[in-house]
Structure 1
C-alpha cells in the first residue's frame, strides 16, 4: 500500500511541474539575489553551482534555474549531488 501511495504521489508531482532537462550552463548559472518588496518572498529550489547541490531559497528571484519543488529542480538539472 505504501509503495502504491508513493508511486501515486511521485506521478502527481511530475504532472505538477514541467519536466524539461535544462542545458547544464543554465543550471550552473549564477543565482540572482535581488532585493524583494513586501509580499513577494516565496520558497523556491535552485541548483547551486558552488556547492553542486540542490538548495532551498527564500526570495523573489525568477531565474531560469528556479523551481517550485526539489523534485522539479532535480529533474530539470540532474547535474549535482542529491
Structure 2
C-alpha cells in the first residue's frame, strides 16, 4: 500500500513538472545569434504581447519555431 501511494505521488509530481514546461519555454528569452549563412525566417513567442513574432535568424533557442503554425500550436 505504501509503495502504491509513493508511486502515485511520484507520478502526480511528474505530471505537474511536465505541465509547467510549455510555460517555461514560452517565457524563455529570445536568443540572438550571428549566423549569416544559415539565417532563415523563424518565429518566437513574445510573452509580453502574447503573440508569435517573425525574425530572421538561426533558431537556436528554446523559444524558436520554424513556422508561425508551430509557434501558435505550441
Same fold (TM over 0.5): yes
Q: TM-score range by the shorter chain?
A: 0.5 to 0.7
Q: Does 1:35 align with 2:43?
A: no
Structure 1 stretches of 4+ moved >3 Å: none
Normalised TM-score (structure 2)? 0.62
Q: RCO (CA 8 Å, sep 6+): is it higher in 1 or 2?
A: 1
| 5+ long unaligned stretches in structure 2 | 1-18
Q: String of CA shifts for 1:17-74, please: whole Å, max 9, x gaps.
A: xxxx9511111110011222x3111111110123221000101231122111111111
Structure of greater Rg? 2
Distance, in Å, in 1 between the alignment partners of 2:24 and 2:56 is 23
**What's the Cα RMSD here?**
1.8
Q: Which has the higher helix share?
A: 2
| 5+ long unaligned stretches in structure 1 | 1-20, 77-82
Normalised TM-score (structure 1)? 0.57
